Amino acid sequence: MDKTVRNKVNIEIPEYIEGYGKVKPYAGAFETEPTGNKFAPKIKAFKNGEEKILKTLREGIEKSGLKDGMTISFHHHLRNGDYVLNLVMKEIEKLKIKDLTIIASSLTKAHEPLLENIKNGTVTSLHTSGLRGKIAEEISRNGIMEKPVIFRSHGGRARAIESGEVKIDVAFIGAPICDTMGNMNGKEGVSAFGAIGYAMADVKYANYVIALTDNIVPFPLNDISISMDYIDSIVEVESIGDPTKIATGATRITKNPNDLLIAKKASEVLIATKKVKNGFSFQAGSGGASLAVCKYLREYMEENDIKGSFASGGITAYLVELLEANLFESLLDTQTFDGEAANSLVRNKNHIEMSASMYANPHNKGCVAHQLDLMILSCTEIDVNFNINSLTASTGVIMGAIGGAPDTAAGADITVVVAPSMRSRLPIILDKVTNVITPGDTIDVLVTERGICVNPLRGDIKKLLEEANIEIKDIRELKEEITKITKVPKSNEYEDKIIGVIEYRDGTVMDTIKQIKM
Amino acid sequence: MDKTVRNKVNIEIPEYIEGYGKVKPYAGAFETEPTGNKFAPKIKAFKNGEEKILKTLREGIEKSGLKDGMTISFHHHLRNGDYVLNLVMKEIEKLKIKDLTIIASSLTKAHEPLLENIKNGTVTSLHTSGLRGKIAEEISRNGIMEKPVIFRSHGGRARAIESGEVKIDVAFIGAPICDTMGNMNGKEGVSAFGAIGYAMADVKYANYVIALTDNIVPFPLNDISISMDYIDSIVEVESIGDPTKIATGATRITKNPNDLLIAKKASEVLIATKKVKNGFSFQAGSGGASLAVCKYLREYMEENDIKGSFASGGITAYLVELLEANLFESLLDTQTFDGEAANSLVRNKNHIEMSASMYANPHNKGCVAHQLDLMILSCTEIDVNFNINSLTASTGVIMGAIGGAPDTAAGADITVVVAPSMRSRLPIILDKVTNVITPGDTIDVLVTERGICVNPLRGDIKKLLEEANIEIKDIRELKEEITKITKVPKSNEYEDKIIGVIEYRDGTVMDTIKQIKM
């Protein structure tokens, strides 16, 4: 048996993982400091008079020098409406290029055709923040990839690219507006998706960058988010995607009464911490009760004449409403969650676009996530040490994403997890989560409809909640209470094969995902 | 005697220059292609909760780890009103740090206190675009520096930094507005100077970046030109400079009747080339007749209902007037030349800020200078091969700047030099210029009040001017004609010591400047 090591969240991981390499075990949220220098891509001179706009995507891929074994990157701002990845992979398949690594900021159900590319050896390695649907099932249950999928947070991805831990040979960027020299932004045009924050690291560190666009405009574009000096080639396509599919259930405020109850309780917790005051900053993750917290906070802010500093993260129409109602000074946006918010980015000067590195990279000279006062997160599971899972189901199947959770939880003064006490008659609190995504040391409060738990590390918060007469339960006791009602969760049986590696934002390994025994 | 080599403009240069290194001789405007990778600065994690705003400049310098022999950088957007360089050098002198290299985007007469730092060994190497006044005199006549001053164009500086040919240990950035985490721009606050394009390369590639500001605002700043993830420390100072001193004579339109005549003729030349049509692009360098060309072009554009694409370069109030009169689609700005233009950068969406790399770096994936149709340049001397000088006087003393001249001349379709036929009874046309700054291969037309000359390489332009009945003179004949009126210029006598190295934008050596024999 291979040598193993126990990391800071008490998970046993091999010292070396085939298809991944040597493991640096997770050592605590801020314990692993960066070493060395940033990655340095090749210098390339664009020849005066040369044509940047190529006739076909094929020409672009050929010009890029893409060949077997190389690494390509994509960004997922168009989410379920993205056409770019599939267009590119179709062309790559025709060119019979094999053994590629894909570094995607995330993968959605729009990318299911990728399954074929994996099965036929075009793609042999995936790096992503999230994975769902058929590809996830096939990897989880049938181990169809030799190499484990590497999961990173949004900040972790920016860090891995900047540090050269991953090296991008060719980056493919979907641009809703792009001038003839490659100046672009994400917020104008029929396929506008808003902020283009994830792609900013790709263009700076990739050796070759191809912009795909359905909207070429004369040089120079006025509002430049990514500038021409990073773009090698431009390819016009019929459409880069369907922006109406960006918004999904996870990005709208819930109408579920239980979720609303949890959100209400969470807002009471936040208020009790006395952090909801003039100049406070706030982020709510997507999904379930999380976004609904804004709704209750808003009431309190209006009643008490409170104006926040900034709200950040994936930006929704609801946050724009708060901005325009003058309840926040500004929004900081790396990924926009709906068309209304994309419009706001054009219209509102205080709706600020940022790169994923500025948003959440732990190894730069300061990121927005570390400026947060309050963070609200959803989860699929939480354990008695407050470690949370948002990536795998209780069955062990991959079905979610890391997103910005570990980044914001580490950075925010107070991180509150909101979750129903049970889902499909399975308890939310466990002795051990299926996989650890965000370490318990960075999670401060759990709010369920059946009770509120405070991480014992945060006696200060406990005291404030008690002062506000908020009942607090011990997380182990709440677990027992819930487990009496629910089924006892079956423990999963796994093969030895590691099919996923969960990196913490600093590049250490938090957990591994094994293939499910069928 | 050291080995020498003749470069493409027929200048003999040593193969190795003490204090500079191995020489790559200039080989033609686009002949030298880049090799290797970009420079990779150290990765540094800003610790969560750490304070970025330091109490004193001294603390910032100490924290940066600056020590003997290192390299520091400055940008000159505040031009004659800049306080930053002097403030920093005063503090460094107190700390007794010696043998520093200064990489300045340019040096102005505001920086004369630097002379003391040179004399006492605090500064032993200078890299700049321009040099004037006492420092220039002392270096030119008395050879007070051991190492030659290295002169680069604006594009050449961005290239040298990006490629790591120069490595910046500590960059000092003057910020008229800066939030508590280091997000900044150049266009807001009492010391606003407009675009902050030169500093963008510094922050990306320096190992340590200190922002000096007289205007700290709450996080997050809305309009971010340089983002927090590049800034290590912030130091508050009483004032970073006096923006009323940015505008100088060189940045206003001349009232000199001879210059106006030359400008009028130059505009007729441009019109005759048939390039002044809808969608054309244009830049005029600062000084003398150059900016006045805009005035005559404007009349033609209004009469003929022509709207240009973009004007670029240092942006003046007059160009803003053209933009707001709807005569150009947009302005591309790396350095703003007066307060009115700085306001425009805030007000006008189509007044676009750009980095020096995007402006003029020959070794990136496309720069604005290469998109120019028409370029107007001033010069102090031109030779019969159309090589121009804008850096040294006929006496051999350094008294000017390279600026963007070699960048835009190489990039523009048509480059027109405007100059009076004589200055102080010295002829403008010579057999050999004192120093070559911009190679003749990239200069197309010379316009003087006594005649117009076309570079023999541009038969196409000659034909168009003839069609427009514009009289063309052979440059050698015009030289003879002028020299009959003027004094015969004395040839300078030099010591062997090389006190300046003139790099072409691609990093090759165009010329050297020797110490004047007294």
Nearest residue, CB atoms, B330 vs list A220, A230, A362: A220
Q: In this complex, is the C-beta atom of B358 within 8 Å of any C-beta atom belonging to chain A?
A: yes
Report CB contact under 8 Å: A365, B163.
no
C-alpha A155/C-alpha A369 separation (Å) is 9
Domain ranges of chain B: 52-244, 257-487
Q: Span A303-320, mean pLDDT?
A: 95
Cα–Cα distance between B148 and B127 in angstroms, integer?
A: 9
Contact A362 B181 (CB under 8 A): no
Task: For residue A71, list its beta bridge partners.
Answer: A101
Identify the residue among A31, A35, A43, A204 best suited for mutation to test binding to B, counting B beta carbons within 10 A and taking the highest.
A43
Given a cut of 70, whether residue B13 has pLDDT beyond it is yes
Say if residues A308 and A301 touch (Cβ distance below 8 Å).
Answer: yes
Is any Cβ of chain B less than 8 angstroms from the Cβ of A363? yes
Minimal C-alpha gap between A422 and chain B (Å): 34
- Average the pLDDT over B418-426 and give the result: 93
Q: How sure is the predictor about A487, in pLDDT bands with cuts at 50, 70 and 90?
A: confident
User: Span A72-93, mean pLDDT?
Assistant: 98
DSSP string for A85-124: HHHHHHHHHHTT--SEEEEES---GGGTTHHHHHHTTSEE
3-state secondary structure of B440: helix
Cis before residue B220, ω within 30 degrees of 0? yes
Question: B50-93: per-residue pLDDT in tens?
Answer: 889 999 999 999 999 999 999 999 999 999 999 999 999 999 99
d(CA B262, CA A36): 56
Task: Say if the Cβ atoms of B349 and A223 lie within 8 Å.
Answer: yes
Number of Cα atoms under 13 Å in the Cβ half of residue B255: 1
* Residues B223 and B183 sit within 8 Å (Cβ to Cβ): no
- Count other C-beta atoms under 10 Å from residue B227's C-beta: 24
Query: Cα separation of B355 and A227, whole Å?
Result: 9
Q: Which of B44, B218, B361 sits opposite A365 (nearest CB)?
A: B44
Q: What is the pLDDT of residue A313?
A: 87
Q: Residue B367: which of B161, B158, B185 has the closest Cα? A: B158
A106 DSSP β-pair partners: none
Scanning A213-287, the segments in alpha helix (DSSP H) are 257-272
Cβ A492 vs Cβ A395: under 8 Å: yes
B173/A contact by beta carbon, under 8 A: no
* A37 to B33: CB separation less than 8 angstroms, yes or no: no
A166 interfaces chain B, CB cutoff of 8 Å? no
CA distance A301 to A315: 19
Write down the residue that tokens 């100072």 correspond to: B237
Amino acid at B183: N
DSSP A48-83: TT---EES-HHHHHHHHT--TT-EEEE--TTGGGB-
| A309 part of contact set with chain B, CB < 8 Å | yes
CB-based contact, B41 to chain A, within 8 Å: yes
Report chain A residues whose CB lies below 8 A from the CB of B358: 227-229
- Report which DSSP code applies to A236: E
Specify whether domain A52-244 bears CATH 3.40.50.2000: no
Q: Across-strand partners of B454?
A: B445
CB contact under 8 A, B352 and A220: yes
Who among B218, B366, B410 is closest to A52 (CB)? B366
- Tell me if residue A215 falls in helix, strand or coil: coil
Element (H, E) at A344: helix A339-347
* The CATH number of the domain covering residues in B257-487: 3.40.1080.10
Mean pLDDT across the stretch A295-312?
Answer: 97
- Mutation target to probe the B interface, by most B beta carbons within 10 A, among A33, A165, A229 is A229
Sign of the CA dihedral with A209 first, then A214, A220, and A223 last? negative
The number of C-beta contacts closer than 8 angstroms across A and B is 170
- The overall average pLDDT reported for chain B is 96
Quick check: B347 contacting A, CB < 8 Å? no
In angstroms, the separation between the Cα of residue B90 and the nearest Cα of chain A is 27
The answer to whether the CB of B126 falls within 8 A of the CB of B149 is yes
Q: Which residue of A has its CA nearest to B161?
A: A43
Cα separation values, B275 from A179, A414, B282, Å: 21, 62, 10
Give the model's confidence band at A252: pLDDT under 50 very low, under 70 low, under 90 confident, else very high.
Answer: confident
| B371·A52 Cβ contact <8 A | no
| pLDDT, position A47 | 83
Chosen from B185, B202, B223, B229 to mutate, greatest number of chain A CBs within 10 A: B229
Question: Which pLDDT belongs to residue B286?
Answer: 78
Averaged confidence pLDDT in chain A: 96
The Cα of B478 is separated from the nearest Cα of chain A by a number of Å equal to 32
Report d(CA A88, CA A320) in Å as an integer.
Answer: 33
CB contact under 8 A, A46 and B365: yes
Instruction: Return the number of other C-beta atoms located less than 10 Å from residue A496's C-beta.
Output: 9
By percentage, how much of chain A surpasses pLDDT 70?
99
Which of A48, A365, A411 faces B231 most closely, judged by CB atoms?
A: A365
For residues B169 and B31, give the distance between their C-alpha atoms in angstroms, rounded to a whole number. 31
Contact list, A372 vs chain B (CB under 8 Å): none
Q: Is A330 on the interface with B (CB under 8 A)?
A: yes
Tell me the backbone φ, ψ of residue A29, rounded to 5 degrees: -55, -35
Q: In what order do the strands lie in the sheet with B494-503?
A: B53-54, B233-236, B208-213, B170-175, B71-74, B100-104, B123-128, B149-151, B494-503, B509-516
**DSSP-based three-state secondary structure for B416:** strand
- Contacts of residue B371 in chain A, CB cutoff 8 Å? 181, 219-220
**Rounded to whole angstroms, how far apart are CA atoms B228 and A368?**
9
For residue B252, name the pLDDT band (cuts at 50, 70, 90): confident
Task: Report the C-alpha gap between B199 and B205 in whole angstroms.
Answer: 10
pTM higher than 0.90, yes or no? Answer: yes
- Partner-chain contact B41 A42, CB within 8 Å: no
State the Cα–Cα distance between residues B354 and A219, nearest whole angstrom.
Answer: 14
Statement: residue B250 has pLDDT above 70? no
A73 Cβ under 8 Å from any chain B Cβ: no
Answer whether B363 sits within 8 Å of A410, measured CB to CB.
Answer: no
Contact A452/A421 with Cβ under 8 angstroms?
Answer: no
- B451-503, pLDDT tens digit by residue? 999 999 999 999 999 999 999 999 999 999 999 999 778 889 999 999 999 99
Q: What angle do CA A3, A8, A10 make, to 5 degrees?
A: 65
CA neighbor of A261 nearest in space, from A300, A302, A296? A296
Kindly state the average pLDDT of the residues B402-422: 97
The Cα–Cα gap between B196 and B186 comes to 5
For residue B1, name the pLDDT band (cuts at 50, 70, 90): low
pLDDT given for residue B255 in this prediction: 86
Name the 3-class secondary structure at B115: helix
Residues of chain A with Cβ-Cβ distance to B411 below 8 Å are 48
CATH topology agreement for domains A52-244 and A257-487: yes
Cβ of residue B152 closer than 8 Å to a chain A Cβ: no
Q: Is B283 on the interface with A (CB under 8 A)?
A: no
CA angle A303, A309, A311 (to 5 degrees): 95
Q: What is the mean pLDDT of residues A428-437?
A: 97
B261 or B424: which leads in pLDDT: B261
* Averaged pLDDT, A458-466: 98
pLDDT tens digits for range A184-223:
999 999 999 999 999 999 999 999 999 999 999 999 999 9
Residue with tokens 């109406």: A244
CA–CA gap between residue B149 and residue B151 (Å, rounded): 6
Helix (H, G, I), strand (E, B), or coil: what is residue A168?
coil
Tokens 């400091």 identify what position? A33
Among the partner-chain residues A33, A37, A279, the one whose CB lies closest to the CB of B45 is: A33
For A358-375, the pLDDT digits (tens) are 999 999 999 999 999 999
**Of the candidates B195, B453, B138, the residue with the CA atom closest to the CA atom of residue B320:** B195
Asked if A229 and B52 come within 8 Å (Cβ–Cβ), the reply is no
* Sign of the dihedral through C-alpha A330, A335, A341, A345: positive
Closest Cα in chain B, distance from residue A334 (Å)? 14
CA of A50 vs chain B CAs: smallest distance (Å): 10
Strand runs (DSSP E) across B3-107, as ranges?
4-6, 12-14, 16-17, 21-22, 53-54, 71-74, 100-104
Averaged pLDDT, A427-443: 97
- Tokens at residue A86, please? 């599939």
Residue B141 has pLDDT above 90, yes or no: yes
Query: Chain A neighbours among B 366-425 (CB < 8 Å)?
Result: 366-368, 370-371, 410-411
Query: CA nearest A219 in B: which residue?
Result: B309
At residue A419, φ and ψ (nearest 5 deg) are -160, 145
Q: Which chain B residues are Cβ-neighbours of A40 within 8 angstroms?
A: 37-40, 164
Which two structure tokens, joined as six digits, stand for B37? 């990778």
Phi and psi at A267, nearest 5°, equal -65, -35
Question: Which member of B34, B232, B358 has the closest CB to residue A44?
Answer: B34
Q: How many CA atoms lie within 13 A of B145 on its CB side?
A: 34
CA dihedral angle for residue A86, residue A90, residue A92, residue A95, rounded to 10 degrees: 180
A2 exposure class (CB count in 10 Å sphere: 0-12, 13-18, 19+): exposed
Residue A1 has pLDDT above 60, yes or no: no
Contacts of B491 (CB under 8 A, 6+ apart): none
Q: Which residues does residue A330 pair with via DSSP β-bridges, in sequence order?
A: A310
Determine the length of chain B.
Answer: 518
Helix residue spans in A206-316 (DSSP H): 257-272, 288-303
Q: Does B52 touch chain A (CB under 8 A)?
A: yes
- The phi and psi torsions of B307 (rounded to 5 degrees) equal -120, 120
- B227 CB neighbours in chain A (<8 A) are 354-355, 358
